[in-house]
């Protein structure tokens, strides 16, 4: 009778032991959603959210260019920039290292991900286009601004020719690789037209 009682008590004790609780706790899992890096902008957002310092674009472009022109001191400058960039890369966390391996930090830093970045990229293209056009026609670019037309930006550029004539050119943000129009005339007339343009105040560079 005592044996049966001891066995019942022992069974009850074992049944109420923390073993069941441990078993239940094993089934509780914390699942973290994996970060997906589908493009350079995903990586750029990750860097901003996690306060990851990235190299300067000019430094990364310098390192991506090949050297060997023989300019004195060129290699020393390259070496200094390379050391600076490598020191920053050492601090990339595991998540951003995945981005770095997949896309490269040059493409990530240079990616246009926000409306402001897209606009600045378009303006930079338009500026290069107009500068090249000015060089080909012996003109000097002197002013620029943005105006808004039908909710789209038009980048306006003023240039002066050797004979004193002034030209005003327009380039759309939609197609920054093509000059929409160029109108040239007497300086006083073109200056008055320029002053009458409704400038749209935004950051262009």
d(CA 76, CA 24): 63
Burial class (CB in 10 A: 0-12, 13-18, 19+), 22: exposed
What domains lie within the chain, and their CATH numbers?
40-110 (no CATH), 115-196 (3.10.450)
The phi-psi region of residue 129 (left if phi > 0; otherwise alpha if psi is between -120 and 50; otherwise beta) is alpha
**Mean pLDDT across the chain:** 83
- The predicted structure's pLDDT at residue 174: 92
Q: What is the dihedral of CA 19, 25, 27, 32, to 10 degrees?
A: -160
Position 188 scores a pLDDT of 95
Q: What is the pLDDT of residue 195?
A: 95
Q: Is the pTM of this model over 0.75?
A: no
Per cent of the chain over pLDDT 70 is: 79
Handedness of CA 80, 82, 83, 89 (dihedral sign): positive
Among 19-23, 99-103, 120-124, 163-167, the minimum mean pLDDT is found in: 19-23
Q: How many CA atoms lie within 13 A of 188 on its CB side?
A: 0
Task: Return the percentage of the chain with pLDDT > 90, whole number.
Answer: 60
């Amino acid at each position: 009778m005592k044996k049966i009682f001891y066995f019942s008590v022992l069974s009850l004790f074992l049944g109420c032991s923390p073993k069941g609780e441990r078993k239940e706790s094993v089934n509780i899992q914390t699942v973290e959603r994996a970060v997906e890096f589908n493009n350079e902008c995903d990586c750029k957002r990750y860097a901003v959210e996690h306060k990851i310092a990235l190299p300067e674009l000019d430094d990364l472009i310098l390192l991506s260019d090949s050297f060997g022109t023989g300019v004195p001191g060129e290699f020393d400058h390259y070496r200094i920039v390379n050391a600076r960039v490598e020191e920053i890369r050492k601090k990339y966390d595991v998540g951003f290292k995945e981005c770095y391996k997949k896309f490269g930090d040059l493409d990530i830093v240079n990616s246009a991900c926000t409306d402001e970045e897209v606009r600045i990229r378009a303006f930079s293209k338009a500026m290069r286009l107009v500068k090249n056009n000015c060089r080909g026609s012996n003109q000097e670019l002197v002013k620029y601004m943005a105006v808004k037309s039908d909710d789209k930006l038009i980048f306006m550029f003023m240039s002066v020719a050797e004979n004193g004539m002034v030209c005003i050119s327009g380039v759309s943000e939609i197609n920054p690789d093509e000059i929409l129009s160029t109108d040239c005339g007497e300086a006083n007339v073109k200056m008055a037209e320029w002053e009458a343009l409704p400038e749209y105040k935004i950051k262009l560079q």
